[in-house]
Structure 1
Amino acid sequence: MKKYIVLFLVFSFGLNAQEKLNVYFDFDKHNLNEQAIKTINTWIAEGKNYQVTKLYGFCDFKGTNSYNDTLALKRVNEVYNFLRESKIEVLKDIEIRGFGEDFKQSKIQDENRRVTIIYTSKIDKVVEEPTKPVEKQFAEKIKSAKKGDLLKLDNIYFYNNSAKVVTKSEPILYELLCVMVDNPTLKIEIQGHICCKRPDEPEVISTARARAVYNYLIRNKIDRTRMSFKGYGVSRPIHPIPEKNALEEDDNRRVEILVKEK
């Protein structure tokens, strides 16, 4: 007899009022630094359906007006490209402005070196999804797993340098959700891994990806006390880095589930 469950999933209706996110830059730089990338990826990992409507660039007062105007626009362009690569919806007629130093400056100079992302997010509303059969592949792994086992979440893919899950991987998240619903005593750690980087590089993206899976389960009413997440960067590769081919890169770029309690 097939097993069916009814789940309450998060869908989106309407738009909220405009919100903003500030991304900060190093002195006299327009490239996104580690903290800026982490800020954006953490925002993306919250999993809302964003639409970016405005991008405003700012600088501190050091340098000429002309230089700062150009630097502000370069910062905006850097953020714009990162958002597009991360598959975040950007309004076609987005308002882009570089204020340079021509605004009310903060006494804290670090706060003046920024890009402000103005966006809307669709309102989350809980609705009942039609009954679906439970997926079996990951469920079978969990059935035979014991405490301490590490299970790969197959076919979970993200956009390049992003924590946004590609559309074709959404059924895998749903399968994990089904497993968590069917096994109410199961406690897990969600582990993120990346490929192709030097072992001494930070774990920003891998952490954001693990958090994205965690947030998906939270939004769908899984108790947060049953879960944790951690990014391991490239510290635990299956194949040595640099990888020899694309297949090895795919193996290293993964999400794994550690069974903590069952």
Structure 2
Amino acid sequence: MKLRAPEKMKTVLTGFLALLMSLVGLNAMAVLTIEITEGGDSGIPIAVVPFEFEGGQKPEQGLRSVIAADLHRSGRFELLPTGDFLSRPGHPDQVRFKDWRLIKAEALAVGQISQSGDDRYDVTFHLFDVFKEKQLAGYRWSVQGSQMREVAHQISDHIYQAMTGVPGAFDTRIAYVTMENSSGNERTYRLMVADSDGHSAQEILRTNFPILSPAWSPSGNQLAYVSFASRTSGAMIWLQDIQTGTRSKLL
């Protein structure tokens, strides 16, 4: 997907910057009070079976722990403990649905990792509706060991969409800003990019000036953000390439 023309982006970002500057200039801020009166519905009970492995050397990164963390973090699922499992199938023909109804699982995820070469693995995944005894999803990947986290996030996305009807967003990246105090009155700001769960964090920019409102380009290869070039300059909008680190001033 291509980026919009710089002129169009400037128009959008100019309006955003004007709004941002007007908000910064306010002397008072409204106080938002949120009152929680009751809890939400419990999540969908799901059993994620540890993936069966065939081969000589397991990949360093397992799949189940990442999938379970993704689904738990969404708040839409109740992960059933592995200690309650009556069986641990790796293939669809090994699934006995009665075992999973007994522990009140509504969904079941099983899979297998097979070593196909030096640091190469084939991953298969199947998702079942336990009560209908029906397969809801099934996928296969051929990847390197370093890509296991990415595959796990994609599996989480497939589970989330199959069970909720809404596309998952686990296999995405987030951009955020950190700040730390250094010697004297200096502060160091860092623009960071990481997986949706915070792993694989990468520093994109380090500066002594504030970084505000990072936003992704449609291609996902660049970030736009508001920052300053010097102590006397006004706020500027920058566009920075994630891979090369090069940046250009938009406004």
TM-score (norm 1): 0.25
TM-score (norm 2): 0.25
Bigger-Rg structure (1/2): 2
More strand by share: 2
Greater RCO, 1 or 2 (C-alpha within 8 Å, sep 6+): 1
